Amino acid sequence: MITTAEAIERLKTRVGVDGPEVTAPVEAGHVRRFVEAIGDPNPRWTKEAPPTFLVALAPVSLHLADAEEYGQGWLNGGNRFEHFAPVNIGDEVTSKGRVVDVYDKAGSSGNMLFIIFETDYTNQRGELVARVRGTAIRR
């Protein structure tokens, strides 16, 4: 296992580096199942996807082996969504994510490693439709 300082030093080399792109179609059945799961019967969702659907559609997975070498498990520190245009059924959405910050904080059980991710989502016309900023915590 590595120390917090070692993990931060290694992960800082990833800051600003784009991960692989993920492209997926916005399918009516997938949106319908998502809407059922979140319990939102708004008829609007028969033509477009709910705002949080993007993370289920094309989650960006930046496997950070250096973070895996630190601590014992992951916590989700939350997501902040910024929307620029609707995501419609039939669209093709491409996501591309990157690490934007890495730091540590002391907790009651020891240091925790915070990794801040940012993901851009574009449609088939290359238009930015949303940006999601998320926090992953390694304890």
- Averaged pLDDT for residues 9-33: 91
| CATH class of the region 4-138 | alpha beta
| Strand 74-83, strand 128-138: pairing | antiparallel
The CA distance from 16 to 97, in Å, is 9
Q: Which residues of 9-28 are buried (b: 16+ CB within 10 A; e: fewer)?
A: ebbeebeeeebeebebebee
Read off the pTM: 0.84
The CA distance from 3 to 60, in Å, is 26
The predicted pLDDT at position 118 comes to: 94
The CA distance from 5 to 9, in Å, is 6
pLDDT, one tens digit per residue, over 27-84 is 999 999 999 999 999 999 999 999 999 988 766 556 676 677 777 888 889 999 999 9
Name the helix (H) or strand (E) containing 56: helix 54-57
**pLDDT band at 115, cuts 50/70/90?**
very high
- Averaged pLDDT for residues 95-122: 90
